[in-house]
Amino acid sequence: MSAGGSLFVRRALLLAVAPTAAAAVLGGLGRLGIVEGLAAAHAPAHGPLFVLGVFLTVISLERAVALGAGWSLGVPAVAASGAAGMLAGVAGAAWVSAGAALGLVAVNAAIVRRQSAVFTWLMLLGATALASGTVAWAVGQPVSAVAPAWIAFFVLTIAAERLELSRLAPTPRWATWVLASVSVALAGLSLALAFGRPAPAWALGAALALIGAWQLRFDLARRLVRQRGLPRFSAAGVLAAATWLLASGAVVALRGSGDASGPAYDLALHGVLIGYVLSMVFAHAPIILPAVARVQVPFRGTYYAPLAALHGGLLLRAAGDLLPDASLRRAGTLGNALALALFAATVLHARLRPAR
In the complex, the residues that contact ligand HEM under the rule CB under 6 A are 25, 28-29, 31-32, 46-47, 50-51, 55, 143-144, 147, 260-262, 265-266, 269-270, 273-274, 277-278, 333, 336-337, 340
Pick the closest to residue 42 from 93, 99, 77, 96 (CA basis): 93
Residue 228 CB, nearest approach to ligand HEM (Å): 29
Nearer to ligand HEM, 181 or 261 (CB): 261
Q: What is the DSSP string of 103-125?
A: HHHHHHHHHHHH---HHHHHHHH
- 183 Cβ neighbours under 8 A, 6+ residues apart: 122, 125, 126, 155, 156, 159, 207, 211
- 312 Cβ neighbours under 8 A, 6+ residues apart: 335, 339
Give CA separation, 68 vs 6, 44, 111, 258, 331, in Å.
10, 36, 10, 42, 43
Nearer to ligand HEM, 47 or 85 (CB): 47
Pick the closest to residue 147 from 139, 137, 161, 156 (CA basis): 137
Nearer to ligand HEM, 163 or 277 (CB): 277
Give the span between the Cα atoms of 87 and 44, in whole angstroms.
11
Q: What is the DSSP string of 132-192?
A: HHHHHHHHT--HHHHHHHHHHHHHHHHHHHHHHHGGGSPPPHHHHHHHHHHHHHHHHHHHH
Pair 303, 346: CB distance under 8 Å: yes
Residue 258 CB, nearest approach to ligand HEM (Å): 8
Residue 275 CB, nearest approach to ligand HEM (Å): 10
Nearer to ligand HEM, 99 or 275 (CB): 275
Residue 54 CB, nearest approach to ligand HEM (Å): 7
Residue 49 CB, nearest approach to ligand HEM (Å): 9
Nearer to ligand HEM, 154 or 299 (CB): 154
Residue 119 CB, nearest approach to ligand HEM (Å): 22
* Residue 313 CA, distance from chain mean position: 18
Nearer to ligand HEM, 195 or 265 (CB): 265
Residue 23 CB, nearest approach to ligand HEM (Å): 12
Nearer to ligand HEM, 110 or 335 (CB): 335
